[in-house]
Chains A and B, each alone.
Chain A
Amino acid sequence: MHERTVIGNVSRARVHTGSKSEHDAVVLITDDGRQYVLRREGGPAFDDPALDQLVGLSLVVEGLETGNTFIMRKWQDTTDCGDDEA
């Protein structure tokens, strides 16, 4: 587990396919193509309506990386910022 900041676009994807934890998740895809399953700190790992609100946005997220899951502590919407500003 590592504390870090990541930047990317939020979308929805099916993750952990075929496993006991397969589900539709809200994910963040970084510029270099890495996909993280997003979870709010303290929020549920599945079906978090607060995360649904983030789909389609570009975010800067601070939090905890644990494998391919990113536990979000703070985030900032940069959707309407230009590339230079983001």
Chain B
Amino acid sequence: MPATIDKVIIANRAALRGKYRPAGATRIEKALAGLIAADAAKGLATRIVYIDEAAQMRPFGVPPVTGPADEKGAKGAVDAIDEKLTPDYVVLLDGPDVVPHITLNAIAGLVEDDEKVPSDLPYASDAPWSQDAHDFLTVTRVVGRLPAAAAETSPDTIVAIIDRAASHAPSPPADYRDYFSISAEVWQESTKLSLKAVFGESDALAVAPPARHPAIDGDLTRLSHFINCHGATADDRFYGQHGQRKPIAMKSLAIAPNVREGAVVAAECCYGAQLFDYAMAHANPPICMSYMANGAIGYVGSTTIAYGPADSNSEADLITQYFMQQVLKGASLGRAFLEARHQFIRGQVMASPTNLKTIAQFLLLGDPSVQPCIAEPTHTTPKLTEADAKLIDPKGQRRARRLALQSEGAAVAATASRPGKVVAGRDQVSRRVANLAKGHGFEARKVAMVEARGGEILHAAMARLEVDRKVAVVMERREADGAGQTPSIKLLVAHIIGKDIVRIEKLERR
């Protein structure tokens, strides 16, 4: 074993053999050997750890997982491996039927249909086992998943994804500035803001409807993709929206032949990264898998129902645009997503249920060590002679970045809020929030008040300033009166310091 390990691949050999049969698992192991060799050529020492094997887990001081569904065991295994090897990258191999998502509890204060939130966030945090998302706001690890859909039987897809991770060479940033973007028409103002934040303009935005296959197919060959459409559980399509109409905009099978090698995708859609069992659903592969199987090297999306406003940016808009911004700056996929998570936790009120859900539900598909494009020199990049440049050790540079990110992860968590008790609001400020909702056309008067607790630094600041923070949520769910009638639904979030309302967010109907 090399003295230091830069990248660890977390796998479950028995689950791979069960899923792909022994011959398929052997093909995957060969592909992984190719990835390890390619990494070595790039200066990365990579190691596979089979977390189901007692002999492999013994040096890490934890038992093997009891099976592929052993979430607590998998989290404990990753924590122990990270503690001992301190890798720069952690790769989860295959779908949640091999290395499980951690099933987080429904987010308190949010009345919705997701009973649980399948998440890879806990693997990116050294916080101990829990099923509450707010316990994982200290995000310090660079984590990604080389994916396959649940119950896939052929190893072809995962082998192709591993091979692509091994062979990818970074491109000039200009290659990734030429983007494909599609948005539900009703969210186009929000999507334009995201595109301007990432690419500096929004001229190439396709609006659905009318945008759909085959008209969009030519643009799918671009390397950066930013998608803000509707999605649904166990569905292989994304949808646009005009008025109440939601026509199909993208289909898994139509995407497949058009994806270019090296594409990077950020999808805001509900269930946009759900690795569902498409055979059981009698459907085609999920769109995220259509991308990853056919050329994409990275994909950020959500496992569950996602949130965002119609004409401004928050929640899903921000986590996806932060990720793409870092990719364009030359970060590896994993670092780009870790920095996106930090930026989101630092800038958003994590006591807000929709923000907490966003950080829990979005995950990275792809090898986190893969660098899509080369970093462009900035005005702070020192100019070095060729001789000086040869003295710079890339491994040391990466270690320095990890040191900064570890510190940053701890710092943003210490200054972030997190949800405390959820109570029915009956005090004066709750009445003001109810009146505010009335002013925005709400008929609902019920206010859920989420008490904000602080990370260490925020808690101390709140105590010093003698203020408390709360987040008030009003959700209105009004059923249709009859055939052809459209129910009206709204969600209003008010941020409260002491007894003052300091910020209002209105999540528009999607």
Given A1-B277, A44-B237, A66-B281, A17 contacting B112 (CB threshold 8 A): yes
| Interface residue? B280 (CB, 8 A) | yes
Contacts of A64 in B (CB 8 A): 234, 280-281
Kindly provide the distance from the CB of A65 to the nearest chain B CB, expressed in whole angstroms.
Answer: 10
Q: How many A-B residue pairs have CB under 8 A?
A: 126
| Interface residue? A67 (CB, 8 A) | yes
Complex alpha-carbon distance, A44 and B245, angstroms:
12
Residue from the list B114, B234, B239, B248 in contact with A71, Cβ < 8 A: B234
Which segment of B139-147, B388-396, B473-481 sits at the interface? B473-481
Is A46 in contact with B477, judged by CB distance below 8 angstroms? no
Kindly provide the distance from the CB of A67 to the nearest chain B CB, expressed in whole angstroms.
Answer: 6
Is A20 in contact with B113, judged by CB distance below 8 angstroms? no
Is A18 in contact with B281, judged by CB distance below 8 angstroms? no
Residue from the list B112, B479, B486 in contact with A19, Cβ < 8 A: B112
Closest to A13 in B: B479
Given A14-B477, A37-B113, A46-B239, A21 contacting B491 (CB threshold 8 A): no
Contacts of A19 in B (CB 8 A): 112, 270, 305-307, 507, 510
Residue from the list B283, B479, B480, B510 in contact with A21, Cβ < 8 A: B510
| Interface residue? B20 (CB, 8 A) | no
Is A46 in contact with B230, judged by CB distance below 8 angstroms? yes
Is B232 in contact with A46, judged by CB distance below 8 angstroms? yes
Contact with A along B231-269 (1 / 0, CB 8 A): 111110101000011111000000000000000000011
Is B234 in contact with A20, judged by CB distance below 8 angstroms? no
Kindly provide the distance from the CB of B270 to the nearest chain A CB, expressed in whole angstroms.
Answer: 4
Closest to B487 in A: A14
| CB-contacts of A27-86 with B (<8 A) | 37, 39, 41-42, 44-47, 55, 64, 66-69, 71, 73
Residue from the list A13, A23, A66 in contact with B233, Cβ < 8 A: A66
| Interface residue? B368 (CB, 8 A) | no
Is A20 in contact with B111, judged by CB distance below 8 angstroms? no
Complex alpha-carbon distance, A16 and B357, angstroms:
14
Is A1 in contact with B281, judged by CB distance below 8 angstroms? yes
Is A45 in contact with B477, judged by CB distance below 8 angstroms? no
Is A45 in contact with B486, judged by CB distance below 8 angstroms? no
Contacts of B486 in A (CB 8 A): 24
Is B239 in contact with A17, judged by CB distance below 8 angstroms? no
Contacts of B244 in A (CB 8 A): 24, 47
Contacts of A46 in B (CB 8 A): 230, 232, 239, 246
Contacts of A13 in B (CB 8 A): 479-480, 487
Residue from the list B237, B245, B270, B483 in contact with A20, Cβ < 8 A: B270
Given A14-B478, A64-B234, A66-B233, A22 contacting B489 (CB threshold 8 A): yes
Contacts of B271 in A (CB 8 A): 21
| Interface residue? B83 (CB, 8 A) | no
Kindly provide the distance from the CB of A17 to the nearest chain B CB, expressed in whole angstroms.
Answer: 5
Is A45 in contact with B239, judged by CB distance below 8 angstroms? yes
Complex alpha-carbon distance, A14 and B282, angstroms:
26
Kindly provide the distance from the CB of B495 to the nearest chain A CB, expressed in whole angstroms.
Answer: 16
| Interface residue? A15 (CB, 8 A) | yes
Complex alpha-carbon distance, A67 and B115, angstroms:
7
Contacts of A67 in B (CB 8 A): 113-115, 233
A-B residue pairs, 4 tightest by C-beta:
A18-B491, A45-B232, A46-B246, A21-B270
A residues apposed to B, CB below 8 Å: 1, 3, 12-24, 37, 39, 41-42, 44-47, 55, 64, 66-69, 71, 73
Instruction: List 29 interface pairs A-B (beta carbons < 8 Å), by A numbering.
Output: A1-B277, A3-B280, A12-B479, A12-B480, A12-B483, A13-B480, A14-B477, A15-B113, A17-B111, A17-B476, A17-B477, A18-B354, A19-B305, A20-B230, A20-B231, A20-B268, A21-B230, A21-B510, A24-B244, A24-B486, A39-B235, A42-B282, A44-B239, A45-B239, A66-B233, A66-B234, A67-B115, A71-B234, A73-B282
B residues apposed to A, CB below 8 Å: 111-115, 187, 228, 230-235, 237, 239, 244-248, 268-271, 276-277, 280-283, 305-308, 316, 354, 475-480, 483, 486-487, 489-491, 507, 509-510
